[in-house]
Amino acid sequence: MTTPKTKVSFLGTGDAFGHGGRLQACIFIESGGTGFLMDCGASAMISLHRFGVEPNRVEFVLLSHLHADHFGGLPFFILDAQLFSKRQKPLLVAGPPGTKECLPKAMDIMFPGSAGASRKFEMEIVELTPGVPRGVCGVEITPFAASHTGGDVRLFFRVECGGKVIAYSGDTAWSDELPLAARGADLLIAEAYFHDKQVPDHLDYATLLARQQELGARRTIITHLSQDLLDRLDGLELEAAHDGLVLEL
Protein backbone atom coordinates (compact mmCIF):
# COMPACT_ATOMS: atom_id res chain seq x y z
CA MET A 1 0.00 0.00 0.00
CA THR A 2 1.41 3.38 -1.03
CA THR A 3 1.95 5.88 1.79
CA PRO A 4 0.22 9.20 1.02
CA LYS A 5 2.61 12.02 0.25
CA THR A 6 3.06 15.03 2.47
CA LYS A 7 2.64 18.10 0.26
CA VAL A 8 4.27 21.43 1.11
CA SER A 9 3.12 24.54 -0.79
CA PHE A 10 5.07 27.76 -0.33
CA LEU A 11 2.38 30.42 -0.68
CA GLY A 12 4.49 33.32 0.56
CA THR A 13 8.28 33.45 0.81
CA GLY A 14 9.09 37.14 1.14
CA ASP A 15 9.98 39.45 3.97
CA ALA A 16 7.70 41.96 5.67
CA PHE A 17 8.31 44.59 3.00
CA GLY A 18 7.37 42.76 -0.20
CA HIS A 19 10.88 42.79 -1.69
CA GLY A 20 10.96 41.18 -5.10
CA GLY A 21 7.17 41.38 -5.25
CA ARG A 22 6.99 38.33 -3.00
CA LEU A 23 4.09 37.56 -0.70
CA GLN A 24 4.49 37.30 3.06
CA ALA A 25 5.09 34.19 5.17
CA CYS A 26 2.51 31.49 4.50
CA ILE A 27 3.06 27.75 3.97
CA PHE A 28 0.29 25.23 3.32
CA ILE A 29 0.89 21.61 4.30
CA GLU A 30 -1.37 18.68 3.42
CA SER A 31 -0.80 15.28 4.96
CA GLY A 32 -3.05 12.35 5.73
CA GLY A 33 -6.21 14.27 4.90
CA THR A 34 -5.27 17.24 7.09
CA GLY A 35 -4.36 20.64 5.70
CA PHE A 36 -2.88 23.45 7.74
CA LEU A 37 -1.08 26.77 7.40
CA MET A 38 2.25 27.55 9.00
CA ASP A 39 2.01 31.31 9.45
CA CYS A 40 -0.60 33.51 7.84
CA GLY A 41 1.00 36.78 6.77
CA ALA A 42 -1.04 39.83 5.83
CA SER A 43 -1.08 38.77 2.16
CA ALA A 44 -2.29 35.23 2.94
CA MET A 45 -5.70 35.50 1.26
CA ILE A 46 -4.02 36.72 -1.94
CA SER A 47 -1.66 33.73 -1.68
CA LEU A 48 -4.49 31.22 -1.18
CA HIS A 49 -6.47 32.51 -4.16
CA ARG A 50 -3.43 32.94 -6.41
CA PHE A 51 -2.24 29.36 -5.90
CA GLY A 52 -5.64 27.66 -5.80
CA VAL A 53 -5.84 26.65 -2.15
CA GLU A 54 -9.47 26.56 -1.03
CA PRO A 55 -9.61 28.21 2.43
CA ASN A 56 -11.88 25.49 3.78
CA ARG A 57 -9.11 22.95 3.18
CA VAL A 58 -7.28 24.59 6.10
CA GLU A 59 -8.03 22.68 9.32
CA PHE A 60 -5.85 24.85 11.54
CA VAL A 61 -3.36 27.70 11.48
CA LEU A 62 0.00 27.41 13.26
CA LEU A 63 1.59 30.77 14.12
CA SER A 64 5.27 31.26 14.89
CA HIS A 65 4.82 34.80 16.25
CA LEU A 66 2.57 37.82 16.20
CA HIS A 67 4.26 40.12 13.69
CA ALA A 68 1.87 41.18 10.92
CA ASP A 69 3.87 39.51 8.15
CA HIS A 70 3.32 36.20 9.94
CA PHE A 71 -0.15 36.53 11.42
CA GLY A 72 -1.78 39.65 9.92
CA GLY A 73 -3.79 37.63 7.38
CA LEU A 74 -5.84 35.86 10.05
CA PRO A 75 -8.54 38.54 10.44
CA PHE A 76 -9.10 38.37 6.67
CA PHE A 77 -9.08 34.56 6.72
CA ILE A 78 -11.66 34.45 9.52
CA LEU A 79 -13.94 37.00 7.84
CA ASP A 80 -13.66 35.14 4.54
CA ALA A 81 -14.65 31.94 6.35
CA GLN A 82 -17.69 33.70 7.76
CA LEU A 83 -18.83 35.70 4.73
CA PHE A 84 -17.59 33.99 1.55
CA SER A 85 -16.21 30.50 2.11
CA LYS A 86 -19.21 29.73 4.35
CA ARG A 87 -17.12 27.59 6.67
CA GLN A 88 -18.96 25.17 8.92
CA LYS A 89 -16.22 22.96 10.32
CA PRO A 90 -14.21 24.19 13.32
CA LEU A 91 -11.11 26.32 12.91
CA LEU A 92 -8.24 26.04 15.36
CA VAL A 93 -5.50 28.65 15.72
CA ALA A 94 -2.34 27.56 17.57
CA GLY A 95 0.26 30.16 18.43
CA PRO A 96 2.51 31.59 21.10
CA PRO A 97 1.31 32.96 24.44
CA GLY A 98 -0.51 36.20 23.76
CA THR A 99 -2.44 34.89 20.74
CA LYS A 100 -5.76 34.75 22.62
CA GLU A 101 -5.47 38.43 23.48
CA CYS A 102 -3.84 39.69 20.29
CA LEU A 103 -6.06 38.11 17.62
CA PRO A 104 -9.39 39.62 18.77
CA LYS A 105 -7.71 43.01 19.16
CA ALA A 106 -6.28 42.80 15.64
CA MET A 107 -9.68 41.86 14.23
CA ASP A 108 -11.43 44.78 15.93
CA ILE A 109 -8.74 47.23 14.81
CA MET A 110 -8.98 46.09 11.19
CA PHE A 111 -12.75 45.49 11.14
CA PRO A 112 -14.47 47.02 14.20
CA GLY A 113 -16.91 44.59 15.80
CA SER A 114 -15.67 41.57 13.88
CA ALA A 115 -14.10 39.77 16.84
CA GLY A 116 -17.46 39.20 18.52
CA ALA A 117 -19.48 38.53 15.38
CA SER A 118 -21.68 35.44 15.22
CA ARG A 119 -20.22 32.63 13.10
CA LYS A 120 -21.51 29.28 11.86
CA PHE A 121 -18.25 27.58 12.79
CA GLU A 122 -16.50 27.10 16.09
CA MET A 123 -13.12 28.74 16.55
CA GLU A 124 -10.59 27.75 19.19
CA ILE A 125 -7.32 29.49 20.04
CA VAL A 126 -4.61 27.35 21.63
CA GLU A 127 -1.46 28.89 23.11
CA LEU A 128 1.63 26.71 22.82
CA THR A 129 4.34 26.40 25.46
CA PRO A 130 7.98 25.95 24.37
CA GLY A 131 9.14 22.40 25.02
CA VAL A 132 5.61 21.02 25.45
CA PRO A 133 4.47 18.91 22.45
CA ARG A 134 0.87 19.27 21.35
CA GLY A 135 -1.22 17.14 19.03
CA VAL A 136 -3.52 19.09 16.69
CA CYS A 137 -5.74 17.32 14.14
CA GLY A 138 -3.38 14.35 14.05
CA VAL A 139 -0.29 16.55 13.66
CA GLU A 140 2.34 16.47 16.42
CA ILE A 141 3.81 19.91 17.09
CA THR A 142 6.86 20.53 19.26
CA PRO A 143 7.40 24.27 19.83
CA PHE A 144 10.71 25.88 20.77
CA ALA A 145 11.40 29.40 22.03
CA ALA A 146 12.78 31.62 19.26
CA SER A 147 15.08 34.60 19.65
CA HIS A 148 12.99 37.30 18.01
CA THR A 149 11.18 40.45 19.13
CA GLY A 150 7.40 40.66 18.98
CA GLY A 151 5.28 39.39 21.84
CA ASP A 152 6.39 37.72 25.04
CA VAL A 153 7.26 34.40 23.38
CA ARG A 154 8.13 33.62 19.76
CA LEU A 155 8.31 30.09 18.43
CA PHE A 156 9.87 27.77 15.91
CA PHE A 157 8.63 24.23 15.35
CA ARG A 158 9.27 20.59 14.72
CA VAL A 159 6.14 19.18 13.08
CA GLU A 160 5.43 15.48 12.52
CA CYS A 161 2.70 14.54 10.05
CA GLY A 162 2.09 11.65 7.69
CA GLY A 163 5.28 9.94 8.80
CA LYS A 164 7.38 12.97 7.82
CA VAL A 165 9.11 15.61 9.92
CA ILE A 166 9.18 19.29 8.95
CA ALA A 167 11.14 21.87 10.94
CA TYR A 168 10.23 25.54 10.55
CA SER A 169 12.38 28.34 11.92
CA GLY A 170 9.87 31.16 11.73
CA ASP A 171 11.93 34.28 12.45
CA THR A 172 14.77 33.78 14.90
CA ALA A 173 18.42 34.48 15.49
CA TRP A 174 20.62 31.40 15.79
CA SER A 175 19.56 29.27 18.74
CA ASP A 176 21.24 26.17 20.14
CA GLU A 177 17.77 24.59 20.09
CA LEU A 178 17.45 24.89 16.31
CA PRO A 179 19.33 21.59 15.80
CA LEU A 180 16.89 19.92 18.20
CA ALA A 181 14.05 20.93 15.91
CA ALA A 182 15.90 20.20 12.66
CA ARG A 183 17.96 17.07 13.31
CA GLY A 184 16.80 14.21 11.11
CA ALA A 185 13.93 16.26 9.68
CA ASP A 186 12.87 15.44 6.13
CA LEU A 187 12.68 19.18 5.48
CA LEU A 188 13.97 22.26 7.27
CA ILE A 189 12.28 25.48 6.18
CA ALA A 190 14.61 28.19 7.42
CA GLU A 191 14.61 31.93 7.31
CA ALA A 192 17.56 33.46 5.46
CA TYR A 193 16.86 37.14 5.71
CA PHE A 194 20.23 38.47 4.53
CA HIS A 195 23.13 36.74 2.77
CA ASP A 196 25.90 37.28 5.31
CA LYS A 197 24.85 40.40 7.20
CA GLN A 198 23.90 39.49 10.75
CA VAL A 199 21.01 41.51 12.15
CA PRO A 200 19.28 41.01 15.51
CA ASP A 201 16.53 38.40 15.73
CA HIS A 202 17.05 36.91 12.25
CA LEU A 203 18.99 34.11 10.56
CA ASP A 204 21.28 34.78 7.62
CA TYR A 205 22.27 32.50 4.76
CA ALA A 206 25.95 32.27 5.69
CA THR A 207 25.13 31.04 9.20
CA LEU A 208 22.72 28.43 7.90
CA LEU A 209 25.20 27.17 5.33
CA ALA A 210 28.04 26.94 7.86
CA ARG A 211 25.85 25.03 10.33
CA GLN A 212 24.24 22.52 7.95
CA GLN A 213 25.96 19.53 9.52
CA GLU A 214 25.01 20.69 13.00
CA LEU A 215 21.40 21.22 11.96
CA GLY A 216 21.25 17.73 10.49
CA ALA A 217 18.15 18.03 8.29
CA ARG A 218 17.89 15.89 5.15
CA ARG A 219 16.94 18.92 3.06
CA THR A 220 16.99 22.65 3.71
CA ILE A 221 15.01 25.29 1.87
CA ILE A 222 15.40 28.97 2.67
CA THR A 223 12.58 31.52 2.80
CA HIS A 224 11.68 35.00 4.18
CA LEU A 225 14.10 36.52 1.68
CA SER A 226 15.05 40.21 1.64
CA GLN A 227 16.28 42.04 -1.45
CA ASP A 228 19.86 41.46 -0.28
CA LEU A 229 19.37 37.71 -0.60
CA LEU A 230 17.20 37.91 -3.71
CA ASP A 231 20.04 39.72 -5.50
CA ARG A 232 22.31 36.72 -4.83
CA LEU A 233 20.06 33.77 -5.69
CA ASP A 234 22.29 32.58 -8.53
CA GLY A 235 24.95 30.22 -7.24
CA LEU A 236 23.54 29.54 -3.79
CA GLU A 237 24.34 26.11 -2.37
CA LEU A 238 21.07 25.90 -0.43
CA GLU A 239 17.71 25.70 -2.17
CA ALA A 240 15.65 28.88 -2.14
CA ALA A 241 11.88 28.79 -2.05
CA HIS A 242 9.71 30.95 -4.28
CA ASP A 243 6.03 31.82 -4.15
CA GLY A 244 4.13 28.88 -5.64
CA LEU A 245 6.80 26.23 -5.04
CA VAL A 246 5.24 22.85 -4.26
CA LEU A 247 7.15 19.88 -2.79
CA GLU A 248 6.15 16.31 -2.03
CA LEU A 249 7.92 14.49 0.78
* pLDDT given at position 4: 73
pTM value is 0.96
What is the pLDDT tens value at each position of the chain, 249 positions in all? 566 799 999 999 999 999 999 999 999 999 988 999 999 999 999 999 999 999 999 999 999 999 999 999 999 999 999 999 999 999 999 999 999 999 999 999 999 999 999 999 999 999 999 999 999 999 999 999 998 665 567 999 999 999 999 999 999 999 999 999 999 999 999 999 999 998 889 999 999 999 999 999 999 999 999 999 999 999 899 999 999 999 999
Superfamily designation of domain 7-234: Ribonuclease Z/Hydroxyacylglutathione hydrolase-like (3.60.15.10)
Distance CA 39, CA 10 (A): 11
